[in-house]
Amino acid sequence: MLQTDLQILSTNFLQQYKQVVSSEALSISISQLEDTPLSTDNFSFHHAVASVYSSKIEGETIELDSYVKHKRFHIEFQPDYTRKIDDLYLAYQFASENRPDKKTFAEMHTLLAKHIVSTNYLGKFRNQNMFVTTKDGRIEYVAAAPFEVTSEMDKLYADLEILLNSELTISETFFFASMIHLVFVKIHPWNDGNGRSGRLFEKWFLAQKLGSKAWFIQSEKYYYTQHETYYNNIRALGLEYPTLDYTKALSFLLMLQKSVLEKE
């Protein structure tokens, strides 16, 4: 059990979470995860699934079947159809080969946002206010102020380092992976690519604690199939960063473990 106080990751719901989530069921489900014959030395089917569905959450029209044909069997499509997904795939591949920290997280964003933000902002925090808006133009969330972003992310990186060096149960690991995801998207440090980064960050942490099988978890696909619930659970904390209410976070925190236990 983690004893050290964390700077930004709330542990208020940890005990309640552990009463609801079955470590035994998670352990069994993780042990049963396997790669697919579609994967090769040069192609990860599960990175493809993660990249496609994380991108679809952001509005990309890519389909998994088409992307597998493109990436695995080298069938050509229009560059605009695959470019951003290729970038995200490379970011997942990079994460699977590196330990998450301040430096590698910036490098990850440089890969995934290559065709999303201008070169000057690849791997760099925003320096202006950030508003998340609805399709009809209404503001639904005001992220951390630009002068707060660096200090808030430094707190998150410091907590990450503590967690990576701590012995955690599998339920604690899932709890903190979800909390990292949630806190990160609430800070919203990049000009763009925050959703993709948050979902990758969550998986990256899981893989560090649980091993390579964590990359086989299809959490991005689950979030896509439950995207209205996913966004509603993120919105539930409030409109503005300084007044976020993490007592309303439990519904979001439970989604990751459901992506493992509630298989199709």
Report whether pLDDT(26) > 80.
yes
Q: What are phi and psi of 239, to 5 degrees?
A: -90, -35
Q: Which of 46, 70, 109, 188 is catalytic?
A: 188
Instruction: Check whether 120 is labelled as a binding-site residue.
Output: no
Residue 202 near residue 176, CB atoms below 8 Å? no
Write down the pLDDT at residue 76: 87
Name the token pair of 187. Answer: 């800070």
Instruction: Check whether 195 is labelled as a binding-site residue.
Output: yes
14-30+37-261 homologous superfamily: Fido-like domain (1.10.3290.10)
Side chain identity, residue 130? M
Q: Which run of H or E residues covers position 140?
A: strand 139-142
Instruction: Check whether 192 is labelled as a binding-site residue.
Output: yes
Instruction: Check whether 123 is labelled as a binding-site residue.
Output: no
The model's pTM is: 0.95
Determine what percent of the chain is predicted with pLDDT higher than 70: 98
Residue 201 near residue 91, CB atoms below 8 Å? no
Write down the pLDDT at residue 138: 84
Strand partners, 139: 133
User: What are the tens digits of pLDDT across the range 131-183?
Assistant: 988 777 789 899 999 999 999 999 999 999 999 999 999 999 999 999 999 99
Active site residue 115: no
Name the token pair of 207. Answer: 């893989």
Q: Look at residues 10, 72, 4, 67 and name the one whose alpha carbon lies nearest to residue 36.
A: 72
Residue 261 near residue 26, CB atoms below 8 Å? yes
Write down the pLDDT at residue 3: 56
pLDDT category at 107 given cuts 50, 70, 90 is very high
The Cα 253–Cα 14 span in angstroms is: 10
